[in-house]
Amino acid sequence: MSDTYNPNDDEAPETLILPLDDWHRARGGRMVEFAGYWMPVQYDAEGGGIMAEHLWTREHAGLFDVSHMGQLLVRVEDADGAPMADQAAAQTALEGLLPADLAALRHGRVRYSLLLGEDGGILDDLMVTRRDDGFYLVVNGATKWDDIGHLRENLPDDITLTHLDEHALLALQGPQAVEALAALVPDVAALGFMQAGAFQWGEVALWISRSGYTGEDGFEISLLADDSAALADALCADPAVRPIGLGARDSLRLEAGLPLYGHDMDEGVDPVTAALDFAISRRRRDTGGFIGADAVLPLIAKGTPTRRVGLALEGRQAAREGAAVLDADGAPIGTVSSGGFGPSCNHAIAMAALPLAQAIPGTAVFIDVRGRKLPATVTTLPFVPHTYHRKGAAQ
Amino acid sequence: MTVLYTADHEWIAFDGEATAGQIATVGITAYAQHALGDITYVDLPAVGGALTKAETAGAIDSVKAASDIYAPVSGEVSEVNEALADAPELVNSDPQGTGWLWRQTIADPADLAGLMDETAYQAHIEGL
């Protein structure tokens, strides 16, 4: 057999160690190189394995170590290095790089956003939150070093960019996540989807947002790396919580229709083709003024030739990244950007950017897998409905 | 029953000393199923199809990957494990029993030269 799985295609030779490396290994974590780090792809333990971990997260609560991601703070500081009360300069500067309406972003609110190149290609996708001490960004692990360079190059000198590299990031996802986390930090239950705030767990300071990458209700918790093993232990002491590896993280996000940077989009793909134009706020469509605006705004107005959609296969055989999508006559119309077996769907699923004429739900297509034409149907995303905890109309 | 192993973590089982045209059963090893993780689909060769030693005969999908499976010897497929269509997880739970993949003829017993016995295979995987 030849294992064609190579999560390490583009990585630097030096593989880094996560703060919870020992913690993962002690729990049977099968460590692989991903985004430049040794990370658990699954846990070889009771209840472990990608299928079991995926289904556990959909039914209970899964704990993910996503400390490989980049946590950044963008702000204006006074002469002593403390954040200024007025972060208007940081807001203005960041709006020069992000297509989000940061002026309308209230304290403790999280937005999905993008870093774009001048040509409108996606350099990265990220979450941005307004905090008391500045704007908090969470970017992808594999791209964080390039992001830091891009931000530093394009932010004015009086704007401080801090890489919070002494912080870990844990995600607790699933329908029982709120009970499990509220047992330690009761006030988190008051957060709505895409809201965030500062919390205390005993002496430990936590920054918690109600967000995630599984389509489930859940939280992402930033804390000093030195405290992360204690929190992971405390969460996993709850019988509803199990550690979940990268394998299930990928199948969960695929079922949730959430794109993966470097696969479903990259610097050669614009936000409209990637069906991420919702990340370009209404006001910013009118005013522009962010890197890439000149290229992207016309695309929003007139559309792109292709657009990312879901593909539901009939059978269990997976169509993976790179597989050709064919129309009913067998002519190639696109390429699978990510795909695999959906444990909750119980059939194979995929995503691809298809010509608009075929990017219509219900369209029958084929995917060429090993010379066999697998039938598939174009579908809206997500494949599995999101169960986010949305609060009121303010969302 | 004689069981021999390939360096690609497949096994081939047959009665006694192999003779030309004899039927053998093929599968993957416990080591292989563990490395693959949860198996979600098995792409098996067609019954009646001709297989060539060391060439691709099918594929195994796990949640994380697709892996080719190779013919351990040349021959003709006489039967495939139909149970795997609905229960591919049998390859995980019982790879050298109910999770067998296909049965085929051994066209030329000389193809078996170079395959490993149990002891040699265990040494092979310990060296990985």
3-class secondary structure for A89-146?
Answer: HHHHHHHCCCCCCHHHCCECEEEEEEEECCCCCEEEEEEEEEECCEEEEEECCCCHHH
Residue A347 with chain B: CB contacts under 8 Å: none
Q: Quickly state the pLDDT bin for A370 (edges 50, 70, 90).
A: confident
Is A102 inside a domain boundary?
no
Ranges of each domain in chain B: 2-118
- The residue from A214, A239, A255 where one domain ends is A255
A225 found inside a domain: yes
Residue A112: φ, ψ to 5°: -80, 135
**Considering chain B, what is the average pLDDT of its residues?**
96
CB atoms near residue A24 (< 10 Å): 20
Query: How many angstroms from the chain centroid is the CA of residue A37?
Result: 17
Q: How far is CA A127 from CA A136, A279, A364, in A?
A: 8, 10, 35
- CA atoms of B124 and B128, how far apart (whole Å): 7
Q: Closest partner residue to B43 among A1, A2, A317, by Cβ?
A: A317
- Name the 3-class secondary structure at B91: helix
A106 is a domain residue: no
Say whether A1 and B38 touch across the interface (CB within 8 A): no
The verdict on a CB contact (< 8 Å) between B61 and A318 is yes
Structural domain includes residue A315: yes
- Chain A residues touching residue B44 (CB < 8 angstroms): none
At residue B110, φ and ψ (nearest 5 deg) are: -60, -25
pLDDT in tens, A233-245: 999 999 999 999 9
Q: What is the CATH number of the domain that holds A339?
A: 2.40.30.110
- The angle subtended at Cα A270 by Cα A269 and Cα A275, nearest 5°, is 100
CA-nearest of A344, A385, A357, A339 to A376 is: A339
- Assigned CATH topology for domain B2-118: OB fold (Dihydrolipoamide Acetyltransferase, E2P) (2.40.50)
In a domain, A149, yes or no: no
What would the mean pLDDT of A11-25 be, rounded to a whole number?
A: 87
Give the Cα separation of A130 and A116 in Å (integer): 20
| CB within 8 Å: B64 and A50 | yes
Whether the per-residue pLDDT at A4 is higher than 50: the answer is: no
| Short-list A260, A271, A212, CA closest to A62 | A212
Count up the domains in chain A and report the number. 2
Angle formed by the axes of helices A50-59 and A246-255, to 10°?
Answer: 60
Residue A254 has pLDDT above 60, yes or no: yes
* pLDDT surpassing 90 at residue A10: no
- List all residues 6 or more positions away from A43 whose beta carbon is below 8 Å from its beta carbon: A24, A27, A28, A29, A30, A49, A53, A242, A243, A244, A245
Nearest-Cα distance to chain B for A313, in Å, is 13
Nearest to A190 by CA among A393, A389, A394, A395: A389
Burial of A7 (0-12, 13-18, 19+ CB in 10 A): middle
**A307: which DSSP letter?**
E
Is the pLDDT at A341 greater than 90? The verdict is yes
**CA count, 13 A, side-chain hemisphere, A93:** 22
User: Which helix or strand (DSSP H or E) is residue A333 part of?
Assistant: strand A332-342
Q: Minimal Cα–Cα distance from B50 to chain A, Å? A: 17
| Mean pLDDT of the B23-35 span | 97
Based on the fold, state whether residues A60 and A171 are members of the same structural domain.
yes
Q: Tell me: the pLDDT tens digits for A221-231?
A: 999 999 999 99
In the chain, the amino acid numbered A341 is F
End-to-end CA distance of chain B: 27
What is the DSSP-derived secondary structure letter of residue A265? B
Provide the pLDDT confidence category of residue A100 given band limits of 50, 70 and 90.
very high
- Which residue has tokens 């055989």? A317
Contact B41, A317 (CB under 8 A): yes
Q: Could you tell me if residue A24 is inside a domain? A: yes
* A209 lies in some domain: yes
What's the CA gap between A126 and A140, in Å, rounded?
A: 7
- Residues of chain B with Cβ-Cβ distance to A50 below 8 Å are 37-38, 62-64
> Tens digit of pLDDT for each residue in B10-20?
999 999 999 99
A382: cis peptide before it, omega within 30°?
yes
pLDDT digits (tens, 9 = 90+) for A256-295: 999 999 999 999 999 999 999 999 999 999 999 999 999 9
Q: Which chain A residue shows the shortest CA-CA distance from B9?
A: A1
How far is the C-alpha of A217 from the C-alpha of A210, rounded, in Å?
Answer: 7
How far is it, in rounded angstroms, from Cα A325 to Cα A308?
12
B33-82: pLDDT as tens digits: 999 999 999 999 999 999 999 999 999 999 988 999 999 999 999 999 99
- Residue span of the structural domain in which A204 resides: 16-66+166-255
- Rounded to 5 degrees, what angle do the CA atoms B34, B40, B46 make? 105
Two tokens, residue A108: 């403790």
User: Taking CA atoms, what residue in B is nearest to A43?
Assistant: B37
Query: Dmax over Cα atoms in chain A, in whole Å?
Result: 68
Cβ contacts of A177 within 8 Å, gap of 6 or more:
A61, A216, A217, A218, A219
Q: How far apart are CA B85 and CA B41, in angstroms?
A: 7
**What's the pLDDT band for B111 if we cut at 50, 70, 90?**
very high
Distance from CA of B98 to the nearest CA of A (A): 20
Residue A39 covered by a domain: yes
Q: Which residue of B has its CA nearest to A53?
A: B38
* ipTM field: 0.88
The pLDDT value recorded for residue A60 is 98
Residues A171 and A246 in one domain: yes
CATH number for the domain that contains residue A40: 3.30.1360.120
